[in-house]
Amino acid sequence: MKLLLVLVFLISLNPSSLVTAFDTTPATTSVPCSANSTGFNNVCYRAVNTSANWTNAAIDCINQGGNLVSVSSDSVNSFLVNLTEQQFGTSTRFWIGGSSSISDNSSWAWIDGNNMNYTNWAIGRPRNISAYDSLEMHTPSGKWYDTPGEAILPYVCEVPPAGATNPCYDNWSYYAPANKCYRVITKKNTFKNQQSNCYSFGGDLVSIHSSGENFFVGAIATKALNYTSQEVFIGLRFNDFDNWIWVDGTSLNWVPNNFTDVDYSGYSGLLETWPTKSKFLWDYDYTSSIHPAICESDPSFMKKEKK
Ligand SMILES: *[C@@H]1O[C@H](CO)[C@@H](O)[C@H](O)[C@H]1NC(C)=O
Ligand SMILES: *[C@@H]1O[C@H](CO)[C@@H](O)[C@H](O)[C@H]1NC(C)=O
Ligand SMILES: *[C@@H]1O[C@H](CO)[C@@H](O)[C@H](O)[C@H]1NC(C)=O
Ligand SMILES: *[C@@H]1O[C@H](CO)[C@@H](O)[C@H](O)[C@H]1NC(C)=O
Ligand SMILES: *[C@@H]1O[C@H](CO)[C@@H](O)[C@H](O)[C@H]1NC(C)=O
Ligand SMILES: *[C@@H]1O[C@H](CO)[C@@H](O)[C@H](O)[C@H]1NC(C)=O
Ligand SMILES: *[C@@H]1O[C@H](CO)[C@@H](O)[C@H](O)[C@H]1NC(C)=O
Ligand SMILES: *[C@@H]1O[C@H](CO)[C@@H](O)[C@H](O)[C@H]1NC(C)=O
Ligand SMILES: *[C@@H]1O[C@H](CO)[C@@H](O)[C@H](O)[C@H]1NC(C)=O
Ligand SMILES: *[C@@H]1O[C@H](CO)[C@@H](O)[C@H](O)[C@H]1NC(C)=O
């Protein structure tokens, strides 16, 4: 009996059982959310009543430890209409986290890495015009419109729940979909020296494997470099066997732009910060040139080290 009570207690502490418990009452907050954010289906949302272009809005959400919002169902869509009508007034437009310029094949994708398996396009949208690359929602209809990312609109971020802790060391940023920590070295140095710097921090130069991870890494580098346009070393190197490789040994399975099919002996890879679009494209330069850099590390390693 005692054991049973303990079990019931433990199950009631498990967040996933909380989700189930509140599933039938959609408007209920099932996680504790911090000030100015509202919980729905276990996610905290913050409506930001400052207007920005899509890229700036997405970077601001990342700076708050979150992402520009993704929408997975009619109920989340309806929740966002209600939330923004309260915060922004009726008949407004605001950014959500969909873009056709973060994906390598120009299809629509969510910045937080979720599948876009629910859509609520307005009639005739998307128009598939390359400049109309960002996603806004209108109220009260809740319909989605493709719009140029230059538009200046308020936006909604998904933010961490109250009391959420960063599983990485101080000065490292956590990206949950890849379960990795990242740190920007703003001081310029050669590729080899930057790799040594990353080693000394318990990591390596970063490898990047999806449009979401690329945007996240680009966003934190852009912020660390004070929103200036620069090129930053990532862990890409042209090796002695005529291949571009990631120095951390992971496979090169994603690129934002096509440059790796040419022989660039003696070169290393770079990511461009502060783009006019939200692509954070890659480039190359001599391994002996000096640039800022981005390191990655493993949160489980950091957890151990923290003790
Ligand atoms: C919440 O909003 C109020 C009023 O706009 C503001 O003063 C306060 O700083 C906000 N708090 C957070 C945590 O953003
Ligand atoms: C949004 O508001 C409407 C009208 O008040 C309500 O019927 C609906 O349940 C709300 N939806 C959500 C998901 O909160
Ligand atoms: C948000 O901005 C609009 C337009 O400036 C304003 O009318 C509204 O009162 C603002 N809402 C809040 C909660 O600040
Ligand atoms: C390319 O776009 C299609 C949808 O048009 C999508 O299903 C597919 O996953 C995309 N591929 C990549 C590599 O992004
Ligand atoms: C839709 O995508 C989300 C996020 O990637 C996933 O959790 C969910 O299972 C998917 N739903 C369907 C019906 O495919
Ligand atoms: C735009 O592209 C999407 C996905 O590739 C497609 O489903 C849709 O029919 C296209 N719309 C138009 C108007 O061409
Ligand atoms: C967003 O605004 C910044 C300036 O704050 C600008 O440099 C950038 O090009 C803009 N991006 C888009 C897509 O409009
Ligand atoms: C984090 O950065 C701050 C300011 O740059 C610095 O004072 C602090 O020592 C750093 N912490 C760690 C753990 O590196
Ligand atoms: C960014 O700006 C801050 C404050 O002005 C400054 O302390 C810092 O050194 C700057 N960083 C870079 C990389 O220029
Ligand atoms: C990359 O460029 C080469 C030649 O310039 C071309 O053959 C190849 O199809 C391109 N690949 C992609 C993914 O665009």
- Taking only the tens place, the pLDDT of each residue in 22-57 is 333 344 446 799 989 999 999 999 999 999 999 999
- Check: pTM over 0.95? Answer yes or no: no
What was the pLDDT predicted at 167? 85
DSSP state of 301: H
The tally of domains found in the chain comes to: 2
Nearest ligand for residue 49 CA: 3
Domain range for 302: 173-306
Amino acid at 165: T
Query: Are 144 and 209 within one domain?
Result: no
Residue numbers in the chain where pLDDT is lower than 70: 1-30, 104, 259-263, 275-278, 301-307
> pLDDT at position 211, please?
85
Are 137 and 233 members of one domain?
A: no
Ligand 9, atom 13: closest residue by C-alpha: 225
Q: Is the CB of 103 under 6 A from ligand 4?
A: yes
Ligand 2 centroid to residue 59 C-alpha, Å: 29
| Spacing of C-alpha 86 from chain mean position | 26
Q: What is the pLDDT of residue 23?
A: 32
Contacts of 198 (CB under 8 A, 6+ apart): 183, 185, 204, 205, 293, 295, 296
The domain that holds 55 is classified in CATH as 3.10.100.10
Residues 70 and 137 in one domain: yes
